[in-house]
Amino acid sequence: MKSKWIYVGAVLLSLAGVLSIAKFAEPENARVQQHKSYNTEVKDTNLSVEASDFSSHLPVVSIETDGQTIPGRPEQGQRVSQVENTFISARMQIMENDGKLNTLKDEPQVDADIQIRVRGNSSRLFDKVGYLFKFTDTDGSDKPYEVMGMEQDSTWVLHGPFLDKTLMRNYMWYNLSGQIMEWAPDVRFCEVFLNGAYQGVYVMTEQISVGEGRIEVTEYDGRSNISSYIVCVDRESVNDVDYLDNFTEYARRMTSKVEVKYPGARKLTPEITDYISRDFSEFEKSLYSYDYTSKRYGYRNYIDTDNFVDYFIINEVTQNADAGIYSTYFYKDITGKLKMSVWDFNNCCDNYMEYQQPMAGFFMQNRTWFFMLTKDEDFTEKIITRYRQLRKGILSDDNVKAYMEEVQDYLGCAVERNFRVWGYTFESQNDLLAGEGRQIGSYEEAVEQYRKRLVSRMGWLDKHIDDLYSYSHESVNKKFND
């Protein structure tokens, strides 16, 4: 009998060990990843970019504007901040066959009217631009569609990788972030035609917005003066938008503006804007007070700490230069705590245009809000513990290297088709990256540079992650503590 219980105990211990390994080996959140699930066995060898004989294993998007120019690009002598965000009407078709190549002659899975404009900031100056578009009904109202297996919605982003010559940064980090965090935008690769002309590989992306499968919060009922909300920290726009009168601006810890994204302009009232300003400022006031770590008054009462920790790690690992100052999103359910969403990894892993980023060193601890959060040793310890956990699974060297290789293999001939149009960007005179030694001469070089940088970066963090404790040490924070 005794030997029987010993055997049972050994089996249970063995099972516990397997489950422990699986905890790190498997994604934390289920997520459909296109490069593992869509047309993976379809043979794609056609290199033509002519509409008449084009074919692709990727979904194909065709946009017809009836001769109109899609607005949103700065005119000569105009700054990006001076561009008015106006839309034009157009027609979009999406061909997305399962198990066979897609062509422009196929029956479209989506055939719809859209409103479309150029989107982005510095990327509006690129030859290959990104687009924001909304599906519309015959009366002009928004009409949701399911796109490429993603949850139906009316508003979408077409990201056009141009600065990112690997074509995969946003696709990869939205997917990895979606495994790590509660929510990150869903994405799919596709190839785009505009008025019959091939535009290259794009990434169809969910906009950060409220809805089923997107940010799921209690929707505004239009009656009360309080609401769930989404806000974005970014460059100031000339458009008629509502900015928060939030506390951090007075604390002089930021130069960017905080713009209300939800509720949208049609539902947003001065009372709701005032409520969001006050609610967001409550968090900021607690963070910049002497009581910032206290149980009763501290910041933990206002934010989802684990969410902020994950946001910190993802952007620190990738050295995502804009995080915390531009393209920085917060969202909050009316009954919940403040959370953050990742957005835009185009500049990450030493792909920032203006200067070369050193591989070593931290930067997120100097960004607004995190400047104070990392003064709390408990918050810092959460970062270090979570980072080490993620390095055993989703952020392991083996996983990220395999991910890049899988995506590169999946894109296949689509890469060559893309650079039949945009291949001139590999020429030295067309280099957009400032700094010596950053010229990339081919797609393969771009992927290798990306891989080496990311692996080296995480290797440096492995050795120095404990150094984050120095930012929360009492010796440097006496003036911030009660």
Instruction: Using CB atoms within 10 Å of the CB of residue 91, give its burial: 0 to 12 exposed, 13 to 18 middle, 19+ buried.
Output: middle
Quick one: pLDDT band at residue 9, thresholds 50, 70, 90?
A: very low
Q: How confident is the model at residue 480 (pLDDT cuts 50, 70, 90)?
A: low
**Is pLDDT at 183 greater than 90 in this prediction?**
yes
Quick one: pLDDT band at residue 476, thresholds 50, 70, 90?
low
Residue 122 confidence class, pLDDT cut points 50, 70, 90: confident
The identity of residue 281, as a single letter, is S
* Whether the Cβ atoms of residue 145 and residue 110 lie closer than 8 Å to each other: yes
Percent of the chain, pLDDT > 70? 88
State residue 236's pLDDT score: 62
List, as one string, the DSSP characters of 234-263. EPPPSSS--B---HHHHHT--SSEEEEEES
**CB count in 10 Å sphere of residue 362:** 17
H-helix or E-strand spanning residue 431:
none
Name beta bridge partners: 197.
194
Q: Which amino acid is at 111?
A: D
Kindly report, residue by residue over 128-172, the tens digit of the pLDDT. Answer: 999 999 999 999 899 999 999 999 999 999 999 999 999 999 999
pLDDT at 34: 98
Q: Which of 38-42, 113-117, 230-234, 390-394 has the lowest mean pLDDT?
A: 230-234
Contact status, residue 458 vs residue 316, Cβ threshold 8 Å: no
Number of residues in the chain: 482
Contact yes or no for 204/187 (Cβ under 8 A): yes
pLDDT tens track for 74-112: 888 787 777 888 999 999 999 999 999 999 999 999 999
Examine the pLDDT at 252 and tell me if it is beyond 50: no
The arithmetic mean of pLDDT across residues 361-385, rounded, is 95
- What letter represents residue 473's amino acid? H
- Other Cβ atoms closer than 10 A to 324: 24
- How many Å apart are CA 426 and CA 443, to the nearest integer? 8
Q: Flag whether pLDDT at 210 surpasses 70.
A: yes
> DSSP 3-state helix, strand, coil percentages of the chain (rounded to 5)?
35, 20, 45
Residue 115 in this model has a pLDDT that exceeds 70 = yes
Tell me the pLDDT tens digit for each residue of 283-292.
999 998 889 9
pLDDT at 65 over 90: yes
| CA pair distance 142, 251, nearest whole angstrom | 39
Write down the residue that tokens 């004989």 correspond to. 53
- Distance separating alpha carbons of residues 331 and 337, to the nearest angstrom: 9
pTM summary value: 0.91
pLDDT tens string 330-341: 999 999 999 999
246 falls in which pLDDT band (50, 70, 90)?
Answer: low
Task: Find the range with the poorest average confidence among 148-152, 252-256, 384-388, 444-448.
Answer: 252-256
